[in-house]
Chain A
């Protein structure tokens, strides 16, 4: 992983944008900054960025809309800056395929840590792609997960999963019948440490649950083990 990653910053506040740009550059990133959603979307679709840092409240086109349109043709990782504690934005953002979120105003060091976590994960994924031979696809019940192509199917129909959800599913299936702790899942799927009051892994999991649906007999595929973590039911 290199620190000279390309970052697209979409933030409408002029001064904050300048400060963030300076800060990210100081951290060794190449930063392209834009001030509104439309411009940001154009840049994101045309450029080749490693991470998009996207504010939710944007003039012309809001962050969620940008994310939605971007996901139509690109899988560039997106880190969303949401209003603090705004559950609705957070949940909607995850559903649309944001890779992580950070409430604003945020601790800049936390921002760097999250960006690095995403980069690290993308790195791992690409390595995974390169080592195709090592990774064999996992099949269990009616689900098939192919880490090489990063395609998951349910009943031979492709599932629309975000990269985090895919990682989660892959992890759970590979360890079916065993409980995986939230700490481990956060590290493998989100590429960072679990922090206090951090419910993002639960949110990603509930999205995944919804997309997979229960077994044919109605039993939940992914079970919560209170105080420990999650488990994919082996049968």
Chain B
């Protein structure tokens, strides 16, 4: 019974009934007020006045007349049974006219002036003429002409507020679900739909529950895969470490002419080590654990250090052109940033060719620091740009023959940026060559 179907169904009924009830009550109140309250109230006032006069005299009456003028907005005077004015308060010059018999012409004239005359009897039975001029309009008189508009507004307010509430009740959990799905899609695999959605016990909560089950399952699969990856990498390391030393021991026993072969094996072990390093780094970054606490660092200094090392490694002095901001401090993980830059710059140096250069340009943006690393190489086919950051993605055609694609370095760079809240993307330069752009939050 708590399904969405019934919720919406009941909601419409309740809204309709409440709206109708409210409009009917409102109309009733206004009309009732208009019909009865005026004369009824005036006559009651008149009775009180005459009683006061009979008991306490003229002065009291004069006071009372002034009082009702102030309180109720009614100017009134009273004529006694012989049509003589009792008090001068509020007495108009033409008071005599009110003693004359009422003709239709006079009635219209009086009504136009807002005047009304009432014949009343006090509690002692004496007859009086009470003439009242209502100069302040009562609230209900004001509202009466606007009755249709009032009804409409009331209905609108009620329907709007109910609808807003029910729409919120439906869209709020859907939005939560959407946010959770987006977060999951972005790679936050620990995202779950929260309790507020699950505890509703309707179709949406069932959907939320399904999402959570799915997320649980996917996260588990991913976890298993990552653990397998990590375990294999770790397990490979130990034999590699032993191999390295065994090889060194062997090298001492062999003659000079065998050293070339030994060196070759050593290089290959080095490559395997590096690859395992990269896989483990990527896994650690993907899992987002084990990263040291944030610290403040000078990005310019970091870039120039990394660039210096990279050009030293590539034995390519003057290949890197740097444009850096002065004293720009970022808060984040310098280790990750330098690793990302290192990988990108290495790639750029590798692909830029013998005559090409690598241009590193760091500039302050509005919310982030942009670092662009551009080379003079052949660039990559447009459609492969977005795959560049996938592990072991190989760009077909020209690139893979040279040095074996981008391996895992770009994937590490992307993860390193992502885990610091930054972003990375690649474009082909109009003049040829690839440009990788990093955006680090300030």
Contacts and interface: CB of A to CB of B under 8 A. Distances in A.
Interface in A1-44: 13, 15-16, 19-20, 22-23, 26
Contacts of A19: 242, 245-246, 249
Nearest to A87: B335
A213 to B, nearest CB: 15
A105 B252 contact: no
Contact of A84 (B244, B246, B249, B277): B277
B292 A105 contact: no
B248 A109 contact: yes
B292 A87 contact: yes
A105 B266 CA distance: 12
B304 A105 contact: no
Interface stretch (B127-135, B136-144, B306-314, B403-411): B306-314
Interface in A168-193: none
B242 A16 contact: yes
A26 B252 contact: yes
A87 B353 CA distance: 33
Interface stretch (B32-40, B42-50, B220-228, B233-241): B233-241
Interface string B291-306: 1100000101100110
Contacts of B304: 226-227
Contact of B313 (A15, A196, A227): A196
B277 to A, nearest CB: 5
Nearest to A182: B305
A102 to B, nearest CB: 11
A19 B249 CA distance: 8
B249 A26 contact: yes
Given A86-B290, A107-B244, A16 B238 contact: yes
B347 interface: no
B324 to A, nearest CB: 8
A19 B290 CA distance: 31
Interface string A186-212: 000000000011010000000000000
A16 B240 CA distance: 10
Interface in B330-369: 335, 338, 342
A85 B277 contact: yes
Interface in B222-273: 237-238, 240-242, 244-246, 248-249, 252, 266, 270, 273
Given A87-B335, A91-B292, A196-B309, A224 B301 contact: yes
B281 interface: yes
Nearest to B290: A88
Interface in A74-119: 84-88, 91, 104-109
B437 interface: no
A224 B241 CA distance: 37
A55 B308 CA distance: 31
Contacts of A226: 298, 300-301, 304
B309 A105 contact: no
B249 A196 contact: no
Nearest to A112: B248
A23 B241 CA distance: 13
Nearest to A206: B295
Nearest to B244: A105
A109 B270 CA distance: 13
A84 B301 contact: no
Nearest to B336: A87
Nearest to B313: A196
Contact of B245 (A23, A87, A199, A227): A23
B308 A227 contact: yes
Contacts of A88: 290-292
Nearest to B304: A227
B333 to A, nearest CB: 8
Contacts of B270: 107
Nearest to B276: A84
13 contacts: A26-B249, A84-B273, A87-B291, A88-B292, A105-B237, A105-B238, A196-B312, A224-B301, A226-B298, A226-B304, A227-B301, A227-B304, A227-B308
7 residue pairs, one from A and one from B, having the closest CB atoms: A105-B241, A19-B245, A108-B248, A226-B301, A87-B335, A196-B309, A227-B304
Interface of A: 13, 15-16, 19-20, 22-23, 26, 84-88, 91, 104-109, 196-197, 199, 224, 226-227
